[in-house]
Amino acid sequence: MDQRDITRILYCRINLSVPVLDRFFNQEDLRPDFRLNRESLAVLLNLLKQDRHHGWGATIETLVFLFWLASGASYRVVCRVFGMPRSTVHWIVHRITEEVVAIRHQVIHLPKTPEDLEVVSRGFAGLAGHRAFLKAAGAIDGCHIRIKPPSGPDGQCYRNRKLFPSIILQVVCDHQGRFIDTYVGWPGSVHDSRVLRHSPLYRQSVYPPPGHFILADGGYPCLQRPLPLITPYKTASARCGSPALQQPSFQGTLYYRACLWDDEDQVQGHLPASAGGAPHLCTSCHHCLHHSPQHLSQCW
């Protein structure tokens, strides 16, 4: 057996001495490395339905992809963490990115049946403690995702009111915080109401059905057509609680879920202005968290 054959055998063998894989195979907590626990990882693998007859295997490749997404590290760093060639890491990340984005319509969708819609409406009524919310079909809001802005004068369009460059992610959630509609890509300087007017949800007017409405904050207009939106009174009653506390709580939850794997120090310079696919990745993977109540409880 020559040196080339030895190299080929070692290349195809999983290196269990790699710390990140050692923790995985020893049933340790995955969240510090991958931001997902084992239950959520199993859900993601089931959704992807990868069939690998050769190569590193579906589980290892998914771990490589999740580590890259969770850490925001370069391919050079990821290849050293897993003991793989950099070209292999590049190939894995790009291929699984396409697979995750391809399943987003399977996991992010509007209620398909009247029974599903009734579950959502009853859920909002239960949260509010009032039957007036039995016609609520969702809650809408937006958040800013840090990006590396494009060079030139157009880069200033991405600077939001908080003075950092971003793109806007608009999300409609159900009563459990599941994403049922997403729209992403507008520059951070654009107001939420303008993003809404250009979204398919507004222009196509297919949801919610007649007699139902979507809850929104004061940044949106109160509308009846083409998209029924209910916004708070400008001066809320004392019986309604403190809007100043409730609104940041919802926005903070939305930002956490939309940018689940991105620490602010890592996001800047990690996402280009055209990276609409990165939020799609996170919103698709977010679906897996709802199969882990313990993980979800940390989001609220």
Same domain, 65 and 92: yes
Among 102, 134, 159, residue at a domain's last position: 102
Same domain, 243 and 122: yes
Q: How far apart are CA 287 and CA 260, in angstroms?
A: 12
Among 70, 102, 134, residue at a domain's last position: 102
> Could you tell me the end-to-end alpha-carbon distance of the chain, in angstroms, rounded to an integer?
58
Same domain, 194 and 71: no
Same domain, 45 and 126: no
Rounded to 10°, the helix 86-102/38-48 angle is 80
Span 195-222, average pLDDT: 92
For the chain, the domain total comes to 2
- For 148-198, write each residue's pLDDT tens digit: 888 888 888 999 999 999 999 999 999 988 899 999 989 999 999 999 999
| Closest among 100, 31, 96 to 296, alpha carbons compared | 31
Same domain, 161 and 87: no
Same domain, 43 and 155: no
Q: How far apart are CA 262 and CA 158, in angstroms?
A: 18
Among 83, 102, 121, residue at a domain's last position: 102
Q: Is 234 exposed, middle or buried (0-12, 13-18, 19+ CB in 10 A)?
A: exposed
Same domain, 24 and 147: no
- Identify the weakest region by mean pLDDT among 1-15, 47-61, 117-131: 1-15
- For 17-52, write each residue's pLDDT tens digit: 788 888 888 888 988 889 888 988 888 888 887 666
CA gyration radius, the chain: 22
Span 9-14, average pLDDT: 56
Same domain, 198 and 221: yes
Buried b (16+ CB within 10 A) or exposed e, 13-31: eeeeeeebbeebeeeeebe
Instruction: Report the relative pairing of strands 213-215 and 229-230 from DSSP bridges.
Output: parallel
Span 52-58, average pLDDT: 69
| Closest among 90, 69, 71, 96 to 286, alpha carbons compared | 69
Q: How far apart are CA 239 and CA 230, in angstroms?
A: 18
Span 265-288, average pLDDT: 52
User: Where residue 73 falls among pLDDT bands split at 50, 70, 90?
Assistant: confident
Same domain, 43 and 177: no
The number of CA neighbours under 13 Å toward the Cβ of 6 is 3
Same domain, 185 and 113: yes
| Closest among 13, 219, 186, 208 to 116, alpha carbons compared | 208
Same domain, 152 and 283: yes
CA distances from 217 to 123, 200, 201, 229, 231 (A): 19, 19, 17, 9, 5
Q: How far apart are CA 41 and CA 136, in angstroms?
A: 32
The pTM of this model reads: 0.72
Q: What is the mean pLDDT of the chain?
A: 79
Span 89-115, average pLDDT: 90
Do 147 and 272 contact (CB within 8 A), yes or no? yes
Same domain, 159 and 23: no
Which residue range is the domain that position 154 belongs to?
Answer: 108-296
